Amino acid sequence: MTAPTDNLRINGERLWDSLMEMAKIGPGLRGGNNRQTLTDADAEGRKLFEGWCEAAGLTMGVDKMGTMFMTRPGTDPAALPVYVGSHLDTQPTGGKFDGVLGVLSALEVVRSLNDLGIKTKHPIVVTNWANEEGARFAPAMLASGVFAGQLTLDYAYGRKDPEGKTYGEELKRIGWVGDEEVGARKMHAYLEYHIEQGPILEASEKQIGVVTHCQGLWWLEVTLTGKEAHTGSTPMAMRVNAGLAMSRIIEMVQAVAMENQPGAVGGVGQVFFTPNSRNVLPGKVVFTIDIRSPDQAKLDGMRARIEEEAPLIAAELGVGCSIEPVGHFDPVTFDPTLVARVRNAAERLGYSHMDIISGAGHDACWAAKVAPATMVMCPCVDGLSHNEDENITPQWASAGADVLLHAVLETAEIVG
């Protein structure tokens, strides 16, 4: 097997032009994008992408979830394809790069190989996963979840948007119900290039994130029961203050996360006070604890600690406490061979790089259940994403795509 030479690069200008072309479809209000899944704008974006793929000589397959698979043949008919992709759908107030960078860089890899007349043993399949964002139809990563056997097609088809329209109906309406069974395809490997969506690479002045893990998470919904009482006339000693119990539990979550460094995080982002009135002590507080770690044992250990200590903290104040898990992902360890290929590619190309853990979920996290998988990341300005102000530079975009090109070529194996 020949390693790609260090002068092998994608066409950065063409990549950037394609990103800007795609961003014209489903424009947001402040310079970003609103191209939510299975909307007319999504259909229009798919058409544009399909046309580009056709022009690059790729053959399209579509599965029953609407995921697009665009194949560049390999020289060995028996060799399984290398899949490279991400998603073209966006948040309602999304940026131009989240997901789109990965799909269009995969296309740019193929375009560059065409320009250079490079053949590979394994086919390369440029992939646009349907409904990665989950903003319109929860949960996120719906199509890759079905592909990886984590969710069923029936479940996915029945997911409803806020207007009550189902995924199945809307997929049919925009004309993208494919004929392939979801998950029938077998992968030699899966690679995904994505913006970091966090501030670490930019702050560390690194061009490339070599992604070693995806964080696992638990969402724990806590219900505290105190006693509604007047905030003025109830003496301190006679209060059963569910709000105070919540604040002490949040401090405990902070301490548990700090004790599990490096890599663990924990916090509370959603709180409901009942009755939520200025001069009433809350009788009931419901809030969600979000804990994450790339390490399964640490993650489960954090959950166990919180479930043990929270009721004790509440009981000291006479407050009732119940905890229910409402969300979970296992941590993902990406394939060490592919991770090393990404790291070596960055090194060979002379790009600064560091190992990084993905704090967000990605289609690659599900793909990793069925194939060796990994990701490449580039910085984004101020770590901003899921925001119309999300931004990257053309240099960042093309550096990551160069790394993707090299990692894909090593995996798909250059012929000749």
Annotated binding site: 87, 98, 133, 194, 386
- CB 89 to Zn ion: min, Å: 9
- What are the C-alpha distances in Å from 408 to residues 62, 147, 244, 338? 22, 21, 53, 9
Q: Identify whether the C-beta of residue 271 lies closer than 8 Å to the C-beta of residue 223.
A: no
Q: Which of residues 256-285 bind Zn ion (CB under 5 A)?
A: none
Give min distance, CB of 99 to Zn ion, in A: 4
CB of 377 to Zn ion, least distance (A): 11
Among 26, 66, 99, 331, binds Zn ion (CB under 5 A): 99
Binding mask 375-414 for Zn ion (x = CB under 5 A): ----------------------------------------
Residue 10: exposure state from Cβ atoms within 10 A (0-12, 13-18, ≥19): buried
Strand 265-274 with 353-358, pairing: unpaired
Site size toward Zn ion, by CB under 5 A: 2
Rule CB under 5 A: choose which of 42, 98, 161, 402 binds Zn ion. 98
Please, what is the Cα angle at 142 between 371 and 136, to 5 degrees? 155
> Residues 147, 181: contact at Cβ < 8 Å?
no
Contacts of 72-76 with C-beta under 8 Å, sequence gap 24+, read 72/110, 72/113, 72/120, 72/123, 72/124, 72/125, 72/126, 73/123, 74/119, 74/120, 74/121, 74/122, 74/123, 74/124, 74/412, 75/119, 75/120, 75/121, 75/415, 76/121, 76/122
Distance CA(259)–CA(277), nearest Å, equals 35
User: Which amino acid is it at 317?
Assistant: L
Tokens representing 81 are: 């394809």
For Zn ion, which is the closer residue by CB, 241 or 358?
358
Q: How far is the CB of 86 from Zn ion (least distance, A)?
A: 6
108/192 with CB nearer Zn ion:
192
Stretch that binds Zn ion, among 94-102, 178-186, 241-249, 370-378 (CB under 5 A): 94-102
Q: Which stretch binds Zn ion (CB under 5 A): 93-101, 168-176, 178-186, 326-334?
A: 93-101
Residue 287 or 366 with smaller CB distance to Zn ion:
366
Q: Which residues are annotated as a binding site for Zn(2+)?
A: 87, 98, 133, 194, 386
Which range binds Zn ion by CB under 5 A, 92-100, 216-224, 233-241, 399-407?
A: 92-100
At closest approach, how far in Å is the CB of 252 from Zn ion? 32
Closer residue to Zn ion, CB minimum distance, 99 or 372:
99
Burial of 172 (0-12, 13-18, 19+ CB in 10 A): middle
* Segment lying near Zn ion (by CB under 5 A), choices 90-98, 170-178, 322-330, 363-371: 90-98
Cα–Cα distance list, 243 to 181, 275, 318 (Å): 50, 12, 12
Smallest gap from residue 91 Cβ to Zn ion (A): 9
Unique residue bearing structure tokens 């007319």: 40
Q: What is the rounded CA–CA span in Å between residue 406 and residue 118?
A: 12
C-beta of residue 374 within 8 angstroms of C-beta of residue 194: no
Nearest approach in angstroms of CB 87 to Zn ion is 6
Nearer to Zn ion, 139 or 320 (CB): 139
Q: Which stretch in 57-65, 91-99, 157-165, 408-416 sits in contact with Zn ion by CB under 5 A?
A: 91-99
Q: Which residues contact 388 (CB under 8 A, 6 or more apart)?
A: 28, 29, 30, 31, 32, 33, 93, 94, 95
Complex with Zn ion: residue 98 or 108, whichever CB lies closer: 98
Closest distance to Zn ion from the beta carbon of 381 (Å):
16
**Per-residue x/- marks for Zn ion, 41-80, CB under 5 A?**
----------------------------------------
C-beta nearest to Zn ion: residue: 99
- Return d(Cα 82, Cα 105) in angstroms, integer: 14
* Tokens matching residue 366: 């599900």
**Measured from the CB atom, is 134 or 320 closer to Zn ion?**
134
- Residues paired with 62 in a beta bridge: 68
**Does 26 sit near Zn ion (CB under 5 A)?**
no
Nearer to Zn ion, 66 or 99 (CB): 99
Which residues make up the interface to Zn ion (CB under 5 A)? 98-99
